[in-house]
């Protein structure tokens, strides 16, 4: 933003000096202002292409390229978001960058932004189970509970996959709302979809039989 301010200040200074030299002639002054406005638009365009306010210093493309040379395990949350945003722009039909963005945003307690990221992933692939679950999780964090809207996303996800994840979240939602019979049924569905190596299998078995304590 500092660069943008400097561009604007420079344009204003140039306009003022030119207007004074014009001797106060109204027609000339209007021309000067039009030229100044055009220069400001060009300057702003250059800034938006080559700079990003969320990553200080240097041209945006150069900073992203340098960032991608580093091991990904060294990224902080903002750096992950910058890299994923670049990947999302480069691959406009791929839902993965937006899915990963949503996960980062959830982990940094930004559920509203996460919901938008998962929604974008869902538009890229309307049958994405991860996106459906991500939207539901985001809504639950925003509202403090699994709302009917969140449950609708989970129900849709459960029709698209044999993965137990949608059923686990539906079971948790039923438990939170005191629907014990529904919760047991959901845990039973989740259990039936788990492999023998799944670390959640014993928990699901206990919950499906009403044994809520391990």
CATH: 3.30.70.270, 1.10.10.2120, 2.102.10.10, 1.25.40.10. Which one for 78-208?
A: 1.25.40.10
The predicted-structure confidence for 76-119, as pLDDT tens digits, reads as follows: 999 999 999 999 999 999 999 999 999 999 999 999 999 999 99
Q: What is the helix (H) or strand (E) element at residue 24, kind and residue range?
A: none
Predicted local confidence at residue 58, as pLDDT: 52
Measure the CA–CA gap between 37 and 203, rounded to whole angstroms.
65
φ, ψ for residue 137, nearest 5 deg: -65, -40
Predicted local confidence at residue 109, as pLDDT: 96
Q: Is the pTM above the cut of 0.85? A: no
The token pair that represents 201 in the structure block: 């299998």
The predicted-structure confidence for 133-174, as pLDDT tens digits, reads as follows: 999 999 999 999 999 999 999 999 999 999 999 999 999 999
Predicted local confidence at residue 202, as pLDDT: 94
- Longest C-alpha distance within the chain, in Å? 90
The DSSP code for 74 is: G
pLDDT at 27 over 80: no
The residue to which tokens 């250059």 are assigned? 46
The CA-atom distances, in angstroms, between 87 and each of 69, 90, 92 are: 14, 5, 8
């Amino acid at each position: 933003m500092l660069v943008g301010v400097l561009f604007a200040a420079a344009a204003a200074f140039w306009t003022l000096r030119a207007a004074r030299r014009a001797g106060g002639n109204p027609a000339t002054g209007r021309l000067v202002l039009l030229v100044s406005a055009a220069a400001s638009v060009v300057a702003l365009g250059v800034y938006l292409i080559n700079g990003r306010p969320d990553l200080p210093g240097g041209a945006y493309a150069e900073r992203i390229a340098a960032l991608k040379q580093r091991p990904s395990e060294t990224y902080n949350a903002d750096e992950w978001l910058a890299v994923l945003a670049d990947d999302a722009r480069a691959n406009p039909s791929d839902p993965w960058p937006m899915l990963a963005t949503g996960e980062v945003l959830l982990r940094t307690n930004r559920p509203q932004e996460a919901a938008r990221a998962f929604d974008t992933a869902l538009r890229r692939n309307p049958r994405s189970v991860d996106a459906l679950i991500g939207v539901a999780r985001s809504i639950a964090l925003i509202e403090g509970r699994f709302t009917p809207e969140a449950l609708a996303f989970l129900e849709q996800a459960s029709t698209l996959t044999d993965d137990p994840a949608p059923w686990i979240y539906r079971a948790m939602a039923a438990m939170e709302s005191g629907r014990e019979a529904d919760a047991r049924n959901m845990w039973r569905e989740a259990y039936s979809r788990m492999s023998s190596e799944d670390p959640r299998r014993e928990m699901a078995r206990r919950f499906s039989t009403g044994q809520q304590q391990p």
